[in-house]
Chains A and B, each alone.
Chain A
C-alpha cells in the first residue's frame, strides 16, 4: 500500500543534541511537508519541498533543517538551536491535483 512512513514514533533528545526525524513516501509525490503540533494546538508549517533538491522555509523554520536528496525522502533535523523542540511532528504529502493529502503517523519528540 502506498503511504508515508515516519520514524521513530517516539524520540528523546538531550539538551544540545541534534536529532533527525525520518519521513519516507512511496506515493511518487513531488511535494512533502513537515508540521509541528504542540499539545492542544493546530499544525504549524516548518518546511516544505516541492521537488527534489528544493525546499522552502515555512512559518517556524528556525532551529530546524531539512534535505531533499531523493524524491521519496524528506528528513527533518531538529538542531540544538531549537529551544523548545518537545512536540508532535507530522509529515504530509498532497497528490499533484491537490484532492488528497496523505499523512504519516507522526513522531513524538521529547527533550530530557
Chain B
C-alpha cells in the first residue's frame, strides 16, 4: 500500500522566520497529486498548496512553497515569514490521479509559532 510519512511530529518557528516541514511518500504510480493541508484548532481542513506530479516546477502560494523531488519521492513545505496564524497541524496528502482507491495522509506535523 502507498504510504505518506511525515517524520516531524512537532516543529517550532520564530515569528517572521522560515520553517520547512518534511514529507516523503511511496508510490508506483507516475501520475498523482500531492497536497499540504492545514488544520487549525477548529479542525477544518484548509488546502495550503497542491503539486501535480507531472509538473517539474515547484508550486508556490504566497508565503508557502514546496520542494518537490519526484525521484526521491519527497515533498517538503516551506513557510516563509511565519505568522502567528500559521500555527496549526499540517498534513501531507497523496492522491493518485483517476484512482479512487488511493488517497493517503501523513500523520501530521504540529507547528508552533513563537512571538
Interface residues of chain A, those whose CB is within 8 Å of chain B, are 30-31, 33, 35, 37, 40-43, 45, 48, 50-51, 56, 88, 90, 92, 94, 96-101, 103, 105-106
Contacts and interface: CB of A to CB of B under 8 A. Distances in A.
14 contacts: A30-B100, A33-B103, A35-B105, A45-B104, A48-B100, A48-B103, A94-B103, A97-B98, A98-B32, A99-B50, A100-B47, A101-B35, A101-B93, A101-B95
A72 to B, nearest CB: 16
A98 B107 contact: no
A99 B96 CA distance: 9
B104 to A, nearest CB: 8
Given A42-B106, A94-B95, A99 B100 contact: no
Contacts of B101: 48, 50, 56
A106 B32 CA distance: 26
Interface residues of B, number: 26
Contacts of A90: 43, 45
Contacts of A33: 103
A42 B109 CA distance: 9
Interface of B: 6, 32-33, 35, 43-45, 47, 50, 52, 91, 93, 95-101, 103-108, 110
Q: What secondary structure prevails in chain A residues at the interface with B?
A: strand
Given A94-B100, A98-B98, A43 B33 contact: no
Contact of B98 (A43, A96, A106): A96
A99 B33 contact: yes
Identify the interface centre among A51, A88, A94, A97: most chain B CB within 10 Å of its CB. Answer: A94
User: 5 smallest A-B Cβ distances: which pairs?
Assistant: A42-B107, A31-B100, A103-B45, A50-B100, A98-B95
Given A42-B91, A42-B108, A94-B103, A103 B44 contact: yes
Contacts of A43: 91, 105
Q: Counting chain A CB atoms within 10 Å of each CB, which of B91, B95, B107 scores highest?
A: B95
